[in-house]
Amino acid sequence: MKRKLLLLIFFLASFSLSFGQEGLLPFQDSAALIQELKLQEDIPSFTYRFFIPKANKNSKITSDSSFLWVETDTAFISKSFKNGTLIDSLYGQLQGNSASILFFVYEEKTNVEGLQSYLETMYATGDFVLAEDKEQPENDIMLLASSNNYQPLDAYKNRLLGDFKLLAVTLIILFFIFTAASMIIFMLIFKSQRNQREENIKNYENEIIGPLTNLLFEKDLDEISQMSDQEISEIFPRSLFKKRLFKQVLIERIIGLNKKMKGEFKDKLKTLYKRLGLVELTKANLKDSRWDKIASGLVQVNEMDLSELINEVKSYTNSKNFHVRSLAGATLLNLSEKVDLSFLKDQDYPLSDWQQMNYLRIIKFVGSSKFLNIPILFKSKNPSVREFAIKMVRMLGRVDLIAELHMINEASMEEEKIELIKTYDALGAHMEVEFINNCMLSNNPDLKKIAVKAAGNLGNSYSEVILMDILLQNIDFRLRRACLTSLNKLNTQTFEKFVATQPLPENKALKAQIQDPLLSNV
């Protein structure tokens, strides 16, 4: 069944091709076709057989093993042959026996017309070549070649260079391979150097601990100060002391001990730091372009009290880097003969809460022994600096500066006014009640709430009126509680009368809470 289906497809294709390409083969009749078959040794899917009727049976012929005859009801049929050049010789052996030849395509019997159609199809697809085309002399090919101009195909000399896409992909692959190899090599080198550095640091620490400990406990401050250069150079091995990494480890060890030690030990470490010439390394750090090196240098200046480098420190008080800027400010506050706040006045960057806390801690520590010019910061163009100055007045209890603060009341921003009211409230500045009353009328909820709380301690009769006006408005619970608390502090009778005339549930509940000693601070 499958074979018949293939044959049907073949004949349909043959019909289509023969219809569109009629006359592809130069066969005028069936004799020409047979003659062509005799010249073909092998045609794909083509075979032929010989046929002898039984009436002409010749026992000698039919017994010939070269034909392998098969007997049917009416005739004898030979085996299949493919070589067309044997047709004449085979047929000559069968003369006088009424033999005839049968053609088969895909093992299905066909006639001359069907065979010709099949050959035309094969010819059109290039699967069949005429015998005369096979036997053309080479001179014809040479003549054909001579009729065309020679054009060398250089693009195919090197396929890699001729195919741009292939070249691009190859280059990309090579690039990634090179990059990967470079990264691996870099990582191996980096890891090796890091491991070597860590090993050196451990060895240097072992070399440093012994001599440094002996020096601190065996010699006093005067003896260290009077040591000769020769004695100083013999404390540590000269071969190691020449190495920069050794000096860095030594500096870290000295600074670490300085943070833990007290009294004369700190002075010994600072003196030894200078005698060992480590100040030069600190100067180099301050001049470095890397911010972490600069930060290390500032820490060294601050811990070792290197006041001779104060000018270098000042150059970093307005640095773009937050850490460098913060360390420079802290160092300047620690080492200046007077607490110089001018660097804050001209600072372009806002002060963070952490910076303000750190600076205030230093100022509290050194402020008692050094002059502190806070009013200079009131004129700063930086709002955060002005707020910090107001906070310092409050934290340091500088009542003498209330008059200076009064001068900036009206020009202050709302955030500064909040700090001003907190300061007036903390210092008990009753003379600023008018400012507080004006702030209670502000539309800023934070400023209004702070002013209401301060009015309870610093307010006057006009403050009571403002508080009651606020309570008559639609306000939130926290502001209402603050107003009632302040009104109660100012005038208990006015408070009682207001709650009685405005018997809102919130007012009654808050009154009970305010007058309850256990809940008054809740």
Q: Distance between CA 297 and CA 255 in Å, rounded?
A: 12
Beta strands in 1-118 (DSSP E): 46-53, 70-71, 75-77, 100-105, 108-110
Question: Is 301 domain-assigned?
Answer: no
Q: Is residue 97 part of a domain?
A: yes
In a domain, 508, yes or no: yes
Last residue of a domain, one of 135, 166, 194: 135
**Domain total of the chain:** 2
What pLDDT, in 10s, does the model give residues 450-461? Answer: 999 999 999 999
pLDDT tens, residue by residue, 204-238: 888 888 888 888 888 888 888 888 888 888 888 88
Residue 456 domain flag: yes
Domain extent for 123 = 15-135
Say if residue 405's pLDDT is above 70. Answer: yes
Contacts 24+ apart (CB under 8 A), 390-395: 390/416, 390/419, 390/420, 390/423, 391/356, 391/360, 391/419, 391/423, 392/360, 392/363, 393/423, 393/427, 394/419, 394/422, 394/423, 394/426, 394/427, 395/360, 395/364
Q: How confident is the model at residue 90 (pLDDT cuts 50, 70, 90)?
A: confident
Last residue of a domain, one of 104, 135, 166: 135
| Residue 156 belongs to a domain | no
Q: What is the pLDDT of residue 450?
A: 94
Is residue 15's pLDDT more than 50?
A: no
Residue 44 has pLDDT above 70, yes or no: yes
Burial class of residue 306, CB neighbours in 10 A (0-12, 13-18, 19+): buried
% of the chain surpassing 70 pLDDT: 85
Residue ending a domain, among 135, 160, 176, is 135
